[in-house]
Amino acid sequence: MHDWVTFGSLSQVNGLSEGTGDYIAGSYSRALGYWNSGQAPYYWVFNWDGHNTAWAGRVLNYSPIYPSGLVNQIHTDGQIWATANMKIWDDIGRNRCDKVFWSGLDLTNSTSSQNDAANAVYTASSNLGYTYTERLSIYNRYTAAGYTLPAAPLPVEILRFDAKRANAVAVLDWATATENNNDYFSVERSADGVHFETLSQIKGAGNSSVEQHYTYTDRSPLGGVNYYRLRQTDYDGKTSYSPIKSVLFDDKAATLALYPNPVGKELTVVLPVASGVVTVLDADGKVLLRQEVNNQVAKGSTLVSLEGLNPGFYWVQVNVVDLRIFRAFYMPCNAFLAACASLATFGWV
């Protein structure tokens, strides 16, 4: 079955396929309901295989963890993989566990390790729309077994969060895929991307497995760049934050604007004239990238890709056609470093 689901590319790295076979047998055997968790056979791969004076047999409550517990024996090492998955089986049930297990293995190949397979199953749980509780169980069981996974699922899965200018107001719109113990959202605004104030609290859906939609209108935005984020609060007081979004409100005729700050993969440049050149330099003044800006109308905006730059502080130099030079100090950050920030400063050189 492992070979079939991987189109002939099953992996025996770390005894992955042996552990997969043990899981299949354990899932079926346990589903018969002959034993409970207080009986030894509940943790046997096969009730007729070993477990006697000649051989102890393979088990589904194997205590060593990955990777320190590997002994380079596929039948032994496979028990780590089988045990982790049978603990998930106990948490979310046979049908849900079997489904995500096979869907995850479908994402592996002949060189996949146990850790790769754990990440594949965890990814499959998101692709299949598993609930927060189910995904958290998978995450906790795998990490307890020694596997390295990306961040744990958030209690609220935000599908999107947008902030846009609509004439003289800013409209914030967001949607959630799932919510778990979600008490409320706080809409926060900042003038510098560092210091935020709460504008409003919007009640959450509590517990939901269907898409929920929310909106908020800031009718008194600040002049210049407005930075917005959501702070989500659980019933138990725990909080998490959305990415930061920015909206520009500045109608002065000759203004240079660089936003957002902190920035992610793209920097928005608004020039007071139709064209110029944007140059990004490191702290030592070394030129890292340069891009020409040729707006069709004055005050048009241009996106500058910052792909490949590490998080840190950089100088942005903008040369416009009348040979004036603007400089700004900003920090590029990716989505996982959205909480990082620095004050934006603008000045003539």
- For position 95, which CATH number holds? 1.10.390.10
342 lies in some domain: yes
CA distances from 267 to 165, 250, 279 (A): 18, 17, 12
150 lies in some domain: no
149 lies in some domain: no
pLDDT at 333: 38
Which residues touch 249 (CB under 8 Å, ≥6 apart)? 165, 168, 170, 221, 222, 223, 224, 225, 226
Please check whether residues 216 and 261 belong to one and the same domain: no
Checking if the pLDDT of 331 tops 50, the result is no
Rounded Cα distance between 154 and 242, Å, is: 11
Rounded Cα distance between 214 and 212, Å, is: 7
Percentage of residues in the chain having pLDDT higher than 70: 85
Please check whether residues 106 and 29 belong to one and the same domain: yes
User: How confident is residue 303, by pLDDT bands cut at 50, 70 and 90?
Assistant: confident
Half-sphere exposure of 251 (CA within 13 A, CB side): 5
235-261 confidence digits (pLDDT tens): 888 888 888 999 988 654 445 677 777
48-58 confidence digits (pLDDT tens): 777 877 788 89
257 lies in some domain: yes
- For position 324, which CATH number holds? 2.60.40.3080
Which structure tokens are listed for 123? 């990814």
User: How confident is residue 199, by pLDDT bands cut at 50, 70 and 90?
Assistant: very high
Please check whether residues 161 and 214 belong to one and the same domain: yes
Please check whether residues 198 and 97 belong to one and the same domain: no
Checking if the pLDDT of 339 tops 60, the result is no
Please check whether residues 124 and 38 belong to one and the same domain: yes
Counting the structural domains of the chain, the total is 3
Structural domain boundaries enclosing 323: 252-348
Instruction: Using the 3D structure, point to which of 82, 116, 144 is the last residue of a domain.
Output: 144
Which residues touch 60 (CB under 8 Å, ≥6 apart)? 22, 26, 30, 43, 44, 45, 79, 82, 83, 86
pTM: 0.54
User: How confident is residue 116, by pLDDT bands cut at 50, 70 and 90?
Assistant: very high
Rounded Cα distance between 260 and 185, Å, is: 22
- For position 190, which CATH number holds? 2.60.40.10
172 lies in some domain: yes
pLDDT at 235: 86
pLDDT at 324: 41
Please check whether residues 236 and 280 belong to one and the same domain: no
Please check whether residues 43 and 90 belong to one and the same domain: yes
87 lies in some domain: yes
Please check whether residues 257 and 301 belong to one and the same domain: yes
32 lies in some domain: yes
Please check whether residues 17 and 134 belong to one and the same domain: yes
151 lies in some domain: no
Please check whether residues 210 and 326 belong to one and the same domain: no
Please check whether residues 228 and 280 belong to one and the same domain: no
Please check whether residues 90 and 33 belong to one and the same domain: yes
Of 274, 322, 315, which Cα lies nearest the Cα of 298?
274
Q: Token pair 């005729």 is at which residue?
A: 253
pLDDT average, residue stretch 124-152: 90
